[in-house]
Amino acid sequence: MLTDGLYLSSTSELNHGQSNVVTEEDLEHLWRLAEMKDGGPTWIKMMDRSTETMSYQAWGRDPKTGPPQYRTSTVYEDVTPELVRDFFWDDVFRSKWDDMLAYSTTLEECPTTGTMVVQWIRKFPFFCSDREYIIGRRIWKAGTDYYCVTKGVPCNSVPRRDKPRRVDLCYSSWCIRPVESRRGNGQLTACEVILFHHEDMGIPREIAKLGIRQGMWGAVKKIEPGLRVYQKQRASGAPLSQPAFMAQINTKVDPSYLRALEGVEDLSKTEV
Protein backbone atom coordinates (compact mmCIF):
# COMPACT_ATOMS: atom_id res chain seq x y z
CA MET A 1 0.00 0.00 0.00
CA LEU A 2 1.26 3.50 -0.74
CA THR A 3 2.42 5.80 2.01
CA ASP A 4 0.79 9.21 2.39
CA GLY A 5 3.88 10.85 0.91
CA LEU A 6 3.77 8.76 -2.23
CA TYR A 7 0.06 9.34 -2.60
CA LEU A 8 0.44 13.12 -2.37
CA SER A 9 3.35 13.10 -4.81
CA SER A 10 1.40 11.09 -7.35
CA THR A 11 -1.64 13.31 -6.97
CA SER A 12 0.56 16.37 -7.49
CA GLU A 13 1.82 14.95 -10.80
CA LEU A 14 -1.74 14.63 -12.10
CA ASN A 15 -2.68 18.09 -10.83
CA HIS A 16 0.19 19.75 -12.70
CA GLY A 17 -0.60 18.07 -15.99
CA GLN A 18 2.49 15.87 -15.91
CA SER A 19 0.48 12.72 -16.48
CA ASN A 20 -1.09 11.64 -19.74
CA VAL A 21 -2.63 8.56 -18.17
CA VAL A 22 -5.89 8.80 -20.15
CA THR A 23 -6.07 11.21 -23.10
CA GLU A 24 -8.35 12.44 -25.87
CA GLU A 25 -6.94 9.67 -28.06
CA ASP A 26 -8.55 7.19 -25.68
CA LEU A 27 -11.86 9.02 -26.01
CA GLU A 28 -11.64 8.91 -29.80
CA HIS A 29 -10.82 5.19 -29.75
CA LEU A 30 -13.81 4.43 -27.51
CA TRP A 31 -16.09 6.54 -29.71
CA ARG A 32 -14.96 4.61 -32.79
CA LEU A 33 -15.64 1.33 -31.01
CA ALA A 34 -19.11 2.48 -29.95
CA GLU A 35 -19.94 3.70 -33.47
CA MET A 36 -18.54 0.56 -35.18
CA LYS A 37 -15.84 2.58 -36.94
CA ASP A 38 -12.71 1.07 -35.42
CA GLY A 39 -11.83 -1.07 -38.44
CA GLY A 40 -11.69 -4.29 -36.44
CA PRO A 41 -12.96 -7.78 -37.31
CA THR A 42 -16.67 -8.65 -37.40
CA TRP A 43 -18.39 -9.00 -34.03
CA ILE A 44 -19.98 -12.45 -33.57
CA LYS A 45 -23.12 -12.75 -31.42
CA MET A 46 -22.55 -14.77 -28.24
CA MET A 47 -25.54 -14.16 -26.00
CA ASP A 48 -28.97 -12.52 -25.80
CA ARG A 49 -30.69 -12.63 -22.39
CA SER A 50 -33.17 -10.47 -20.54
CA THR A 51 -35.15 -10.03 -17.33
CA GLU A 52 -38.15 -7.80 -16.64
CA THR A 53 -35.97 -4.75 -16.00
CA MET A 54 -32.76 -5.52 -17.90
CA SER A 55 -31.69 -6.80 -21.32
CA TYR A 56 -28.22 -8.03 -22.24
CA GLN A 57 -26.46 -8.85 -25.49
CA ALA A 58 -22.84 -9.90 -26.00
CA TRP A 59 -20.54 -10.25 -28.99
CA GLY A 60 -16.95 -11.43 -29.35
CA ARG A 61 -14.19 -11.29 -31.93
CA ASP A 62 -10.63 -12.58 -32.35
CA PRO A 63 -8.20 -9.99 -33.71
CA LYS A 64 -5.04 -11.20 -35.46
CA THR A 65 -2.95 -9.90 -32.58
CA GLY A 66 -3.82 -9.47 -28.93
CA PRO A 67 -6.39 -11.18 -26.70
CA PRO A 68 -10.04 -11.91 -27.61
CA GLN A 69 -12.28 -8.84 -27.51
CA TYR A 70 -15.82 -8.54 -26.18
CA ARG A 71 -18.62 -6.06 -26.77
CA THR A 72 -21.78 -6.00 -24.66
CA SER A 73 -24.95 -3.92 -24.56
CA THR A 74 -26.93 -3.82 -21.33
CA VAL A 75 -30.15 -1.80 -21.00
CA TYR A 76 -31.49 -1.02 -17.52
CA GLU A 77 -35.02 0.31 -17.08
CA ASP A 78 -35.87 3.33 -14.91
CA VAL A 79 -32.37 4.60 -14.17
CA THR A 80 -30.41 7.64 -15.31
CA PRO A 81 -27.02 7.61 -17.06
CA GLU A 82 -25.62 9.72 -14.22
CA LEU A 83 -26.52 7.14 -11.58
CA VAL A 84 -25.10 4.29 -13.68
CA ARG A 85 -21.92 6.33 -14.23
CA ASP A 86 -21.46 6.80 -10.49
CA PHE A 87 -22.35 3.16 -9.76
CA PHE A 88 -19.65 1.67 -11.97
CA TRP A 89 -17.02 4.15 -10.69
CA ASP A 90 -17.86 3.61 -7.01
CA ASP A 91 -15.21 1.14 -5.83
CA VAL A 92 -16.39 1.48 -2.22
CA PHE A 93 -19.90 0.28 -3.05
CA ARG A 94 -18.63 -2.19 -5.66
CA SER A 95 -17.22 -4.36 -2.89
CA LYS A 96 -20.81 -4.95 -1.75
CA TRP A 97 -22.01 -6.52 -5.01
CA ASP A 98 -18.92 -7.56 -7.00
CA ASP A 99 -17.61 -10.69 -5.27
CA MET A 100 -14.67 -10.83 -7.69
CA LEU A 101 -13.21 -7.60 -6.29
CA ALA A 102 -10.93 -8.63 -3.42
CA TYR A 103 -9.22 -5.27 -2.88
CA SER A 104 -9.22 -1.73 -4.26
CA THR A 105 -7.51 1.55 -3.44
CA THR A 106 -7.00 4.90 -5.14
CA LEU A 107 -3.36 5.66 -5.99
CA GLU A 108 -3.77 9.02 -7.77
CA GLU A 109 -6.57 11.42 -8.62
CA CYS A 110 -6.95 14.76 -10.36
CA PRO A 111 -9.70 17.08 -9.09
CA THR A 112 -9.59 19.03 -12.38
CA THR A 113 -10.11 16.28 -14.98
CA GLY A 114 -11.44 13.52 -12.73
CA THR A 115 -8.63 11.23 -13.88
CA MET A 116 -7.88 8.45 -11.40
CA VAL A 117 -5.34 5.67 -11.05
CA VAL A 118 -6.62 2.79 -8.94
CA GLN A 119 -5.29 -0.58 -7.86
CA TRP A 120 -7.56 -3.61 -7.96
CA ILE A 121 -7.04 -7.22 -7.00
CA ARG A 122 -9.60 -9.53 -8.56
CA LYS A 123 -10.31 -13.16 -7.79
CA PHE A 124 -11.63 -15.57 -10.39
CA PRO A 125 -13.96 -18.52 -9.85
CA PHE A 126 -12.24 -21.49 -11.46
CA PHE A 127 -9.95 -20.86 -14.41
CA CYS A 128 -7.38 -18.43 -13.03
CA SER A 129 -5.68 -17.33 -9.80
CA ASP A 130 -5.96 -13.79 -8.40
CA ARG A 131 -4.82 -10.94 -10.63
CA GLU A 132 -3.67 -7.38 -9.87
CA TYR A 133 -4.65 -4.39 -12.01
CA ILE A 134 -3.31 -0.83 -12.07
CA ILE A 135 -6.08 1.06 -13.86
CA GLY A 136 -6.15 4.58 -15.28
CA ARG A 137 -9.64 5.97 -15.78
CA ARG A 138 -11.42 9.14 -16.89
CA ILE A 139 -14.90 10.20 -18.03
CA TRP A 140 -15.96 12.49 -20.88
CA LYS A 141 -19.46 13.86 -21.38
CA ALA A 142 -20.78 14.57 -24.89
CA GLY A 143 -24.37 15.82 -24.82
CA THR A 144 -26.29 13.23 -22.80
CA ASP A 145 -23.72 10.46 -23.35
CA TYR A 146 -20.84 9.50 -21.07
CA TYR A 147 -17.63 7.92 -22.36
CA CYS A 148 -15.86 6.11 -19.53
CA VAL A 149 -12.33 4.92 -20.28
CA THR A 150 -10.54 2.45 -18.01
CA LYS A 151 -7.31 0.73 -19.02
CA GLY A 152 -4.15 -0.77 -17.61
CA VAL A 153 -1.39 1.78 -17.01
CA PRO A 154 2.22 1.54 -15.77
CA CYS A 155 2.88 2.43 -12.14
CA ASN A 156 6.42 2.36 -10.79
CA SER A 157 5.34 3.32 -7.27
CA VAL A 158 3.61 -0.04 -6.71
CA PRO A 159 6.19 -2.86 -6.84
CA ARG A 160 5.34 -6.00 -8.78
CA ARG A 161 4.85 -9.21 -6.84
CA ASP A 162 4.90 -12.82 -7.90
CA LYS A 163 1.37 -13.20 -6.57
CA PRO A 164 -1.05 -11.84 -7.47
CA ARG A 165 0.23 -11.53 -11.04
CA ARG A 166 -0.20 -8.05 -12.55
CA VAL A 167 -2.26 -7.74 -15.75
CA ASP A 168 -0.59 -5.07 -17.88
CA LEU A 169 -2.79 -5.32 -20.97
CA CYS A 170 -6.32 -4.56 -19.87
CA TYR A 171 -9.00 -2.44 -21.54
CA SER A 172 -12.52 -2.11 -20.16
CA SER A 173 -14.38 1.00 -21.32
CA TRP A 174 -18.00 1.88 -21.86
CA CYS A 175 -20.46 4.38 -23.28
CA ILE A 176 -23.49 5.19 -21.12
CA ARG A 177 -26.50 6.84 -22.76
CA PRO A 178 -30.25 7.28 -22.30
CA VAL A 179 -32.47 5.11 -24.50
CA GLU A 180 -36.18 4.47 -24.92
CA SER A 181 -37.90 2.18 -22.47
CA ARG A 182 -38.91 -1.28 -23.67
CA ARG A 183 -42.42 -0.37 -22.53
CA GLY A 184 -42.84 1.38 -25.86
CA ASN A 185 -43.97 4.72 -24.43
CA GLY A 186 -41.28 6.67 -26.29
CA GLN A 187 -39.75 7.95 -23.06
CA LEU A 188 -35.97 7.96 -22.52
CA THR A 189 -36.29 6.36 -19.09
CA ALA A 190 -33.90 3.48 -19.74
CA CYS A 191 -30.11 3.53 -19.85
CA GLU A 192 -27.81 1.58 -22.18
CA VAL A 193 -24.26 0.61 -21.25
CA ILE A 194 -22.11 -0.42 -24.23
CA LEU A 195 -19.00 -2.12 -22.87
CA PHE A 196 -15.78 -3.06 -24.66
CA HIS A 197 -13.40 -5.38 -22.84
CA HIS A 198 -10.20 -7.30 -23.44
CA GLU A 199 -7.27 -8.34 -21.29
CA ASP A 200 -4.24 -10.62 -21.33
CA MET A 201 -4.35 -12.58 -18.09
CA GLY A 202 -1.33 -14.70 -18.95
CA ILE A 203 -3.28 -17.93 -19.41
CA PRO A 204 -3.91 -19.96 -22.58
CA ARG A 205 -6.23 -18.18 -25.00
CA GLU A 206 -8.83 -20.96 -25.21
CA ILE A 207 -9.02 -21.32 -21.42
CA ALA A 208 -9.61 -17.58 -21.09
CA LYS A 209 -12.36 -17.72 -23.73
CA LEU A 210 -14.01 -20.69 -22.00
CA GLY A 211 -13.95 -18.89 -18.67
CA ILE A 212 -15.60 -15.83 -20.20
CA ARG A 213 -18.30 -17.86 -21.93
CA GLN A 214 -19.16 -19.90 -18.85
CA GLY A 215 -19.03 -17.03 -16.38
CA MET A 216 -20.51 -14.18 -18.43
CA TRP A 217 -24.22 -14.38 -17.63
CA GLY A 218 -23.65 -15.27 -13.98
CA ALA A 219 -21.48 -12.18 -13.54
CA VAL A 220 -23.91 -9.93 -15.41
CA LYS A 221 -26.89 -11.05 -13.30
CA LYS A 222 -25.14 -9.82 -10.15
CA ILE A 223 -24.85 -6.26 -11.42
CA GLU A 224 -28.49 -5.19 -11.51
CA PRO A 225 -29.36 -6.12 -7.89
CA GLY A 226 -26.38 -4.03 -6.81
CA LEU A 227 -27.48 -1.18 -9.06
CA ARG A 228 -31.00 -1.17 -7.58
CA VAL A 229 -29.68 -1.08 -4.01
CA TYR A 230 -27.37 1.76 -5.01
CA GLN A 231 -30.31 3.56 -6.63
CA LYS A 232 -32.32 3.35 -3.39
CA GLN A 233 -29.42 4.49 -1.25
CA ARG A 234 -28.77 7.50 -3.44
CA ALA A 235 -32.49 8.36 -3.46
CA SER A 236 -32.43 8.32 0.34
CA GLY A 237 -29.64 10.90 0.38
CA ALA A 238 -26.73 8.60 1.23
CA PRO A 239 -23.39 10.45 1.08
CA LEU A 240 -21.12 9.99 -1.93
CA SER A 241 -17.95 7.96 -1.63
CA GLN A 242 -14.77 9.60 -2.96
CA PRO A 243 -14.76 7.46 -6.16
CA ALA A 244 -18.40 8.37 -6.83
CA PHE A 245 -17.57 12.03 -6.27
CA MET A 246 -14.73 11.71 -8.79
CA ALA A 247 -17.16 10.15 -11.29
CA GLN A 248 -18.97 13.48 -11.39
CA ILE A 249 -15.86 15.37 -12.56
CA ASN A 250 -16.17 14.96 -16.32
CA THR A 251 -14.43 16.53 -19.30
CA LYS A 252 -17.17 18.01 -21.47
CA VAL A 253 -16.80 17.76 -25.24
CA ASP A 254 -19.08 19.13 -27.94
CA PRO A 255 -20.87 16.25 -29.72
CA SER A 256 -19.82 17.90 -33.00
CA TYR A 257 -16.20 17.11 -32.09
CA LEU A 258 -17.05 13.41 -32.10
CA ARG A 259 -19.24 13.70 -35.20
CA ALA A 260 -16.21 15.13 -37.00
CA LEU A 261 -14.62 11.71 -36.60
CA GLU A 262 -17.36 10.11 -38.72
CA GLY A 263 -15.26 10.43 -41.86
CA VAL A 264 -13.43 7.30 -40.75
CA GLU A 265 -14.44 4.39 -42.98
CA ASP A 266 -16.68 1.90 -41.18
CA LEU A 267 -14.82 -1.40 -41.46
CA SER A 268 -16.24 -3.06 -38.36
CA LYS A 269 -19.42 -5.12 -38.59
CA THR A 270 -21.76 -6.93 -36.26
CA GLU A 271 -23.19 -10.34 -37.04
CA VAL A 272 -26.76 -10.40 -35.71
> pLDDT tens-digit profile of 17-47?
445 899 999 999 999 999 999 989 999 999 9
Q: How confident is the model at residue 2 (pLDDT cuts 50, 70, 90)?
A: very low
- Structural domains in the chain, CATH included, are 4-259 (3.30.530.20)
Tell me what the pLDDT averaged over the chain comes to: 88
pLDDT band of residue 8 (cuts 50, 70, 90) is: very low
Comparison of pLDDT for 157 and 85, the residue scoring more: 85
Adjacent-strand bridge partners of 165: 131
pLDDT tens-digit profile of 102-143? Answer: 999 999 999 999 999 999 999 987 667 899 999 999 999 999
Phi, psi torsion values for 61, nearest 5 degrees: -155, 155
Of residues 35, 14, 86, 88, the one with CA closest to residue 258: 35
In degrees, to the nearest 5, what angle opens at C-alpha 91 toward C-alphas 159 and 125? 75
Dihedral sign for Cα atoms in the order 38, 150, 162, 207: negative
